[in-house]
A = this chain, B = another copy of it.
């Protein structure tokens, strides 16, 4: 998605070898018009699927997910993150390890918001090692719901998340695919 790649090039900040900071328009400050354009793009990519629900994880997934939900005309459910959970009644839960923050969180979704009739599109801000998406997939499995696809804002193709999802036969569509960081600059897969 051209508009997004331009935004990443001009406003993204490369930190170290593998971290891209996009808190100018996605992770802290949000550009709502860009989020809407991303929602339209997710709709274009997944409109052939029968989607009944969009799943994401708080907080940075909410803005792109809710714009996609507006266009798909389906509810959005965001998984909550917890340091640890003692009471798990009525919740689907999964453990998600963050390689960036080097910490495990539990994520949860109330059982009443996901069931066997649901056809789910997962939307998330980043795909790196694929831990968050895998956590959501465990929850979808536990609910006997059907995963229809995964929509990602920014994918780092050099980390293992994409491969994990490809091996499971999941349709993954990323709006920006980063091949590498070179001298503090972002190189996209479709760069010449």
- A residues contacting B by CB (< 8 A) are 23, 25, 28-33, 35-36, 58-59, 62-63, 66-67, 69-70, 73-78, 80, 109-110, 113
CA distance A58 to B29 in the complex (A): 12
Q: Contacts A33-B73, A59-B58, A62-B59; is A28 near B110 (CB within 8 Å)?
A: yes
On chain B, the residues within 8 Å of A58 by CB distance are 58-59
Complex contact A36–B70 (CB within 8 A): yes
**This protein's copies in its complex:** 2
Contacts A29-B110, A29-B113 known; 15 new A-B pairs at CB < 8 A: A23-B110, A25-B75, A28-B78, A28-B80, A30-B69, A30-B75, A30-B78, A33-B70, A58-B58, A58-B59, A59-B59, A59-B62, A59-B80, A63-B76, A66-B67
Partner of A29 from B29, B32, B76 at Cβ < 8 Å: B76
Closest chain-B Cβ to A44's Cβ sits at a distance in Å of 17
11 contacts between A and B (CB under 8 A): A25-B75, A28-B77, A30-B76, A32-B76, A35-B66, A59-B78, A62-B62, A62-B63, A62-B66, A66-B66, A67-B70
Task: Give A81's nearest chain B residue, CB to CB.
Answer: B59
Q: Is the interface of A mostly helix, strand, loop or mixed?
A: mixed
A119 CB to nearest B CB, Å: 16
Name the residue in A23, A25, A35, A66 with the highest tally of chain B Cβ atoms < 10 Å from its Cβ: A66
Q: Please, which residues of chain B bring their CB within 8 A of the CB of A77?
A: 28-30
* A83: nearest chain-B partner, CB-CB: B83
Question: In the complex, what residues of B have CB within 8 A of residue A25's CB?
Answer: 75
- Residue from the set A32, A63, A75, A109 with the largest chain B CB neighbour count within 10 Å: A32
Partner of A66, one of B32, B73, B74: B32
| Complex alpha-carbon distance, A96 and B187, angstroms | 41
The 3 closest A-B pairs by CB, nearest first: A32-B69, A58-B59, A32-B70
